[in-house]
Amino acid sequence: MNNKFKWLAGLSMLSLFSLPVAADEILPPAQADAPLILGAGVIYRDKTYRAYDDGEKAQAIPLIMWENERFFFRGATFGWKAWSNESWEFAVIGEGRGDGYDSDDANILTGMDDRDMTLDGGAYLAWKNGAWGVKATVVHDLAGKHEGYEARGEFSYTHVSESRNWMIRPSAGIVYQSDDLVDYYYGVQNDEEILGFRAAFSADAEVIYRLQTVVAWNPGGSKWQLILGGRLDAQGDEFDDSPITDDDKLLMGFFAAGYRF
């Protein structure tokens, strides 16, 4: 393995656990004439934990996007395109899950075990017809943290300007998370219960409804890429009923600048 590849792989792992899960749905793809984009950005996530520490909501992150005919890094997702044509793409993927917390991130979490980020693996099948696209993804925990799985469906529309200097892609989707996954990040174990403060809670599987938009712009047709994205997750009752949450809406915003090589 040459030094350039080692450096690229190391940077991609930093990006992997900094960006949110499913970041490939937030980021535009690299282009054939400039398959590598390197840069940095800021991500804001207002997690639904009660009185979640403001200092944990925003963080600086590295940005990497790289793609060829078979392999890709798209923010938090990397994969192998096992089969593709003009309309269809089937890929085997790994993706970093940036969910979780440290017990000092909010008073309500004091005395609880930390909930860790992890690596999920699975596959997606995507279809596109002009500007319209549909994508189905299934992933399962590979690192033995939540030991659950997630299934996602997304419907999107992509508009590219006539000058091809900017694009916008709104999308809507639905996410199903298994009981193991939801319980790991939002449950309270019996030994974590504190009477009168935090009740024990075992979460079941649940559905999330998702709206998101991404805008990408090349100023003056240069090799610089500016990306702005936003996401709103409307979480189900299992999230809202947890004693460690106070909201059923999760907001995420993302801005980054990268250079195309």
- Position 45 scores a pLDDT of 87
- Position 203 scores a pLDDT of 95
At 261, list the tokens: 């090589």
Instruction: Report the distance separating Cα 224 and Cα 167, nearest Å.
Output: 14
Model's pTM, two decimal places? 0.87
- Position 116 scores a pLDDT of 92
Instruction: Report the distance separating Cα 207 and Cα 212, nearest Å.
Output: 16
Tokens 């799985």 belong to 149
Helix (H) or strand (E) holding 132: strand 132-141
Instruction: Report the distance separating Cα 244 and Cα 170, nearest Å.
Output: 31
Instruction: Report the distance separating Cα 201 and Cα 116, nearest Å.
Output: 19
- Position 49 scores a pLDDT of 94
- Position 27 scores a pLDDT of 57
Question: For 48-91, how does the pLDDT look when each residue is reduced to its tens digit (9 = 90+)?
Answer: 999 999 888 888 888 888 888 888 888 788 899 999 999 999 99
Domains identified in the chain, total number: 1
At residue 26's C-alpha, the angle toward residues 137 and 43, to 5°, is 125
Question: For 6-38, how does the pLDDT look when each residue is reduced to its tens digit (9 = 90+)?
Answer: 444 444 444 444 454 444 555 555 555 557 888
Q: Which residues of the chain have pLDDT under 50?
A: 1-18, 20-23
CA count, 13 A, side-chain hemisphere, 66? 19
- Domain hosting 179: range is 3-260
Instruction: Report the distance separating Cα 140 and Cα 218, nearest Å.
Output: 36
- Position 26 scores a pLDDT of 52
Instruction: Give the burial string for 66-101 (b: 16+ CB within 10 Å, else e).
Output: bbeeeebbbbbbbbebeeeeeeebebebbbbbbbbb
- Position 157 scores a pLDDT of 93
Give whole-number Cα distances, 214 to 153, 179, 218, 231, in Å: 17, 30, 14, 9
Q: Which CATH number do you get for residue 150?
A: 2.40.160
- The neighbour count for residue 24, using CB atoms within 10 Å, is 24
Instruction: Report the distance separating Cα 135 and Cα 126, nearest Å.
Output: 4
